[in-house]
Amino acid sequence: MTLMAEDLNVFGLPHNHMKRLVGNIEEKVLSTNFSDEESYYSLLNTLNNGFNELISHEAIEDHYIIHPLLPRLPSTVKVTLQNDVHSDNRLDLLHGKVKQQLNMDVVSHSERLHFGKQLQEELFSLKLIPHMNEEEEVFQPLLMQYFTQQELRSIKLTVIKLHNLPDCRQPEAPAKAPICQLPPEVVLQIFSYLSPRDLCQCAQVNSFFSRTAFVGKLWTRLFPVRWLSGHWESCSPTSYDERSLEHLAHHGDEEDSGNSTVSLSMSRLYDFVCYLLPKVGPHVKLLDFAHAGRMEIKYVSETLLEGSYFCDALCCVSCAVVGCPRYCNLFPLHDAHLQES
């Protein structure tokens, strides 16, 4: 298997991380007010942690990249770096001075100013970022020439692991959406403002949304006929559009010739009974079929209440039909109170 160039670049990820670290250190050194004692010690702690990481980085490169490479090079190949942090101890010496300052009980104002000037000169003389760029330009081509692809991939993974860095070629676990990080009771409160249609759509997002969307307290009042007509509120409406009322009153009176054609409203009502009620039925207190047609009332009468969808929470069923009050009696409910709209 042929690997991509990025899979074989042993310096890429560690150097990107270290260049950001060095950039942050240099920026803080330049912006620190050495007259302020608190800012001074904050800088020293940043430098101490940063230098520890840089020294560890150089040791990892020495052991796993540079030292394995050198014996494989022909005697005719000479490797020299203009900015070779590996061959001198200036970084270690500067780190020692920082630790010395941290261990001092008292550092006077003049001593802080003096060390600040010295620090800037020595830090920027290290040329840490040019050193990393030079390593990439000099060593990476040699590694590609004298190591196999599998060897380079193995070295890269080892170096990344020792730096505690993620491999950019490895898929990361998808981050949770911010709302999924909220406490369940907060998400439930947010969902309480959604319409039934919105809740059903949210339930398709993920398992957390699905569990929350069908919590019983969100479904205590059901208005399936109104929902099928596009009225998605979960409470009794104050008014209806006249055309909607007329449609609701009469569309169920159409004959179903030979049962070969099922109306769209009956199909949706079937979905309501088969898919929604098994999830929320035990929590329903009010089931409102007001403004339903004859077919809907008959279907509910014969099918809906014969199932085990409800428990004792159901206390009210409304099924008055617009202009057709005679259909109320078609809706038997054993122990529930029948309320005419």
Tell me: the pLDDT tens digits for 187-226? 888 998 888 888 888 888 888 888 888 888 888 887 777 7
* 249 pLDDT higher than 90: no
- Residues facing 221 on adjacent strands: 286
Provide the pLDDT confidence category of residue 242 given band limits of 50, 70 and 90: very low
Q: pLDDT over 70 for what percent of the chain?
A: 64
Q: What pLDDT score was predicted for residue 113?
A: 94
Walk across the sheet containing 221-222 and list its strands.
Answer: 221-222, 286-288, 316-318, 337-339
* 331 pLDDT higher than 60: no
Q: Please tell me which residue, 182 or 336, carries the higher pLDDT value.
A: 182
Q: Please tell me which residue, 81 or 30, carries the higher pLDDT value.
A: 30
Q: What pLDDT score was predicted for residue 325?
A: 42
Q: What pLDDT score was predicted for residue 93?
A: 93
Q: What pLDDT score was predicted for residue 275?
A: 72
Q: Please tell me which residue, 148 or 303, carries the higher pLDDT value.
A: 148
Give the chain's largest Cα–Cα span.
Answer: 106
